[in-house]
Structure 1
Amino acid sequence: MKSYLLLFLRSLALLLPMLLPQVSAAHEIGESRVVVALNATSWTALVTTAPTALINRLELAAGMLPSCDLDEARALATLKRLQGELPSHFHITLDAVPVPITVDVETLEIPADITRPAFVVLKVQGAMPDHAKSMIWQFDLLKSRYTLQLAERTHWLDGDQPSAAMPLAPEQAQTVVQLVSEYVQLGFTHIIPGGPDHVLFVLGLVLLTTRLRPLLTQITAFTVAHCLTLLLALEGVIALPATVVEPLIALSISYVAIENILVRRMTPWRPALVFGFGLMHGLGFAGVLTELGLPAQDRLAAILAFNIGVEAGQLTIVGVVCGLALFWWKDKPWYRTRIVYPASLAIALIGLYWTAERIIGF
């Protein structure tokens, strides 16, 4: 028993540093967006993001402890107090020349009604040099992938990293190949590294058994289900609030992990439950695309490309874990006691933590 406990603690020690810092980041992709408007003498950018994460990162950068349980009044007071620090976190160049900017809090809403989203809008303004042709944008307080709209194009930026040089004049319309490539990348990065909850769910499916057929049955059920609700949700056929979907996704992680401990092989009801959980995960995927927005043209191509990226991310996880489980550990007598039990217990605890965090957070 002592050896099992030590194995569990080691597994938990490995998993927690990788996953708990990303709790607030699960599904954060798409929460932030930037819209840049240009005129002859100036430009204005509206940055919309989640207020608590922004304020906490701003506080940490200023050497302060992060605030907890922020209501609208406290959040606004904190932002006003630290407003002078905001410009230093933007790094914006026009034709490779840094430009001075001003940053104001345009809007802040943290509704008491938990079914309504909280958000903050920052207004960033600067002068437009004559004949400027390109912009490089960086905002180091954003950590997840987000969109920036400029000159009739949508650019995807990687958190706190600088963008590539973006043209200020409208370019030729994006080709279908370019659109598909971008949405495949978005789908993949939503899983790896942006979706720790989906990663743990897939790991829970893989850990149940080293037999290939039960694994394929589960993965197929999950894939069909989340593809179905992704399409239906984006077409407006079904809708559930994130306050319901996100805790259920976290709870599904715990369920499959706990069942891994209690049973040695796939139960008759497991594929049906995995299918049901897949429906919830599909709604989560749809929420990401809804926040990001879909192109007016080639909408179906964008949806399918995103889904292909998601599947590629999932298959990457399955391939790596199966490579270990099916070929290295398949016939080891200690596979369940040293691998399945401690890993599943760690996953179950993280899933329960996420469930509570999401219920309280909403």
Structure 2
Amino acid sequence: MTTCRVRALIVLLLLLLPLPFIAVTTAAAHDIGDSRVIIAHDAVSWTALFTTAPTALINRLELLADRPPSRDLDEPKARSLLTAFQAELPAHFHIAIDGAPVPITVGIERLEFPTDVLRPAVLVLKVAGAMPENATSMTWQFDLLKSRYALQLAGRSYWLEGDEASPPLPFHPGPSETLPRLVVDYLQLGFTHILPGGPDHVLFVTGLVLLSTRLRPLITQITAFTVAHCLTLLLALQGVIALPGSVVEPLIALSISYVAAENILVRQMTPWRPLLVFGFGLMHGLGFAGVLTELGLPANYRLAAVIAFNLGVEAGQLAVVGLLFGLVLFWWKDKPWYRNRIVQPLSAAIALVGFTWTATRILGF
């Protein structure tokens, strides 16, 4: 075996090794759905309304209690289970004010299972506590979440990373955010939505890179994806389009499998692929539209925030393209064994991960 083939095999193994871990962590990252927190306070108390997907949260509590996860929940069953677990819920919220843990209460504020399947089920938990005198900041953590979610406090929006604790969040944050600062924040948010926060986006882009070995058609596809992603957010912002995560997330996973499977079945990019990528971009955008439009966009600069976010997404995707080009395409895209030794094995692994995500997101794990 030549030195080039040995190097190609090593790179392939390095690319394949993280896939089982990605399959597990990203499936878990989507099991709660779009979650958000809105905190209000006065001189004597504070209240947090925590919105999340009820079935996924109940399933996580059941798994922690070594109970099989419930399926086909309706509102009465969900309410009964939540009532049974209610005494355990405060232990999963870790709230500190000015660095000192504070006692809290947790109650069920609202629980809805709409008959319209296109509307998501919603659970709102009311978390409350006393406000210490002269308090300046709060640290928030909920240890049952894995995916990024938004928190609003004192007119500011913050993005928290799953079950990690937030930094100290000020009760009185000072002057309003300026447009340049907002643009920088949303550029960063868009970039980190891809790296490191979007393994599903990374695998989707990897699938595109494997078949499109020339940069121009590859950049065309990436840009079409980003334009569609931006369009979805703008339509959602106007209330024109909305789908629940229970529908969108399996479709996103299935789009990853489709792209990877097509890599195995065809030898070069098909004429219809840019259109398919545009359609997939619409779905991927829907996966983030709900929480971003409902909470994360400032009233005065919504359009600027959407554009900056999507430019960050584009930069993140181009970073993935550049990384793969430097690791793989530059060295081996013209080798006669490139398709058999790189494209097909890696595409098969990506397709398998995509099908795994599809199943776990449909089943609610």
TM range (shorter): 0.7 to 0.9
Preserved CA contact (<8 Å) 1:26 1:197:
no
CA-to-aligned-CA distance 1:137-164 (integer Å, 9 cap, x gap): 2221222222222222222222222222
Preserved CA contact (<8 Å) 2:242 2:290:
no
In structure 1, the partner of 2:283 is 280
- Aligned-pair CA distance for 1:240: 4.8
- Aligned-pair CA distance for 1:175: 1.6
In structure 1, the partner of 2:70 is 68
Distance 1:270 1:180, change over 3 A: same
In structure 2, the partner of 1:16 is 20
In structure 2, the partner of 1:268 is 271
CA-to-aligned-CA distance 1:37-56 (integer Å, 9 cap, x gap): 21222211111112233223
Distance 1:68 1:333, change over 3 A: farther
Match of 2:194 among 191, 201, 204: 191
Residues in 1 aligned to 2:21 and 2:337: alpha-carbon distance in whole angstroms: 26
Residue 239, structure 1, aligned to residue 244, structure 2: no
Trace 1:148-227 onto structure 2 (pairs within 5 A): 148-227=151-230
Q: Look up the equivalent residue of 1:253 and give its one-letter code.
A: I
Preserved CA contact (<8 Å) 1:27 1:195:
no
- Aligned-pair CA distance for 1:247: 4.4
Between 1:272-281 and 1:178-187, the stretch displaced more is 272-281
Distance 1:291 1:164, change over 3 A: same
% identity of equivalent residues: 66
Residue 80, structure 1, aligned to residue 96, structure 2: no
Between 1:111-120 and 1:292-301, the stretch displaced more is 111-120
Q: Look up the equivalent residue of 1:67 and give its one-letter code.
A: P
- Aligned-pair CA distance for 1:314: 1.0
Residues in 1 aligned to 2:173 and 2:343: alpha-carbon distance in whole angstroms: 54
Task: Give the TM-score normalised by the residue count of structure 1.
Answer: 0.85
Residues in 2 aligned to 1:87 and 1:229: alpha-carbon distance in whole angstroms: 36
Residues in 2 aligned to 1:308 and 1:155: alpha-carbon distance in whole angstroms: 19
In structure 2, the partner of 1:136 is 139
In structure 1, the partner of 2:29 is 25
CA-to-aligned-CA distance 1:248-269 (integer Å, 9 cap, x gap): 4333322222221122222223
Match of 1:230 among 227, 230, 233: 233
- Aligned-pair CA distance for 1:203: 1.1
Distance 1:331 1:159, change over 3 A: same
Distance 1:124 1:277, change over 3 A: closer
Q: Look up the equivalent residue of 1:323 and give its one-letter code.
A: G
In structure 1, the partner of 2:326 is 323
Residue 114, structure 1, aligned to residue 117, structure 2: yes
Between 1:71-80 and 1:118-127, the stretch displaced more is 71-80
Unaligned runs of 5+ in 1: 1-7
Distance 1:153 1:52, change over 3 A: same
Preserved CA contact (<8 Å) 1:25 1:194:
no
Q: How many residues align structurally? A: 353
Residues in 2 aligned to 1:37 and 1:268: alpha-carbon distance in whole angstroms: 53
Three-state SS of the structure 1 residue aligned to 2:310 is helix
Three-state SS of the structure 2 residue aligned to 1:120 is strand
Residues in 2 aligned to 1:35 and 1:233: alpha-carbon distance in whole angstroms: 20
Preserved CA contact (<8 Å) 1:183 1:302:
yes
In structure 1, the partner of 2:343 is 340
Preserved CA contact (<8 Å) 1:26 1:195:
no
Task: Give the TM-score normalised by the residue count of structure 2.
Answer: 0.85
Three-state SS of the structure 2 residue aligned to 1:47 is strand
Alignment RMSD: 3.0
Three-state SS of the structure 2 residue aligned to 1:297 is helix
Preserved CA contact (<8 Å) 1:250 1:351:
yes
